[in-house]
Amino acid sequence: MDKDSLLQSFKGTRVLLLGDLMVDQYTWGTIERMSPEAPVPVVHVNKKESRLGGAGNVAINCNALGANVLPVGTIGNDEAGNRVKTLFANRGLSTDGLLETQRPTTVKTRVIADNKHVVRLDEEDPSYPSDDLEMVNHVQKCIANFAPQVIILQDYNKGVLTQRVIQKTIEAANSKNIPTIVDPKKINFLEYKGVTLFKPNLKEISEGLGIEIDPQNLSGVQKGVTHLINILSAKGVLLTLSEFGVYIDHMGTQSHIPAFPRNIVDVSGAGDTVVSVAALALAHNMAPKDIALMANLGGGLVCQHVGVVPIEPQNLEDEFNLHNGE
């Protein structure tokens, strides 16, 4: 692929994104004194803002890169669910994949004062539904109608990705030769059998396999990743190593991409950006090393901003062209 036309090739790519949708509520302010009631700061509120969070942030990143995204997930019959639909409309995202249920919409409220993350408040029901057949059928219908070029499974352990939903989605994708990429969490970590590319971070792979992995010991990293690939019968693993970069083993090719020096301000949403970029690269059959490089750069770029923000496509392309071939 001509690297000068890399992002151009992403435009219009059909991405089906299945996962936990939520609202990120931001309260911005300043701290001028401590509370007389408790040893906590008093935040003088300057503004409030609602953004798409969770899998919604992945949708925004894919959309920013020019993809045609169909987010699939649940919202509650509540004010936050209405906010999700409004935020979708504001971003030009389709609401066809939204399934309304009795479960409340997840809301995460972040209080940021003087450019520092002070506290986060979570409103959610993280339990798994006893009956997931409606979601299974909904996903199957979305795959058939949308005909995606890649499927992202974005798991936050909020109840959408049950064992059966995971299994049936991957089975449907594999039967149609649609690549799948997973951003996992702890509860169903080893349920993603047959996935194309599995993207854990260092903490997740250590907890999921029950072993300690030293990110500075590449032979140990390679051993852990190989073990995970064998357990999942996956075609590959993209492991993020925080300040030590990323490691990929995909289709028998291994590469380690070190992290690039940056002014890290906030790591919120970095994993969402990594999986978004990797998914589009995977859809276009990029080489494993290029998938890892581009995903690594994307994750690093968004860490230079406060709060969860989408990737800037031109910055990503410029850095990829700069570092590709090094």
Supply the residues annotated as catalytic: 272
Which of 134, 181, 191, 180 is CA-nearest to residue 157?
191
Is the CB of residue 173 less than 8 Å from the CB of residue 179? yes
Residue 104 CA to residue 126 CA, distance in Å, equals 10
3-state SS, residue 68: strand
Residues 233-268 as b or e (16 or more Cβ within 10 Å = b): ebbbbbbbbeebbbbbbbeeebbbbebeeeeeebeb
User: CA-based angle 65:247:251, to the nearest 5?
Assistant: 85
3-state SS, residue 151: strand
Give CA 304 to chain center in angstroms. Answer: 17
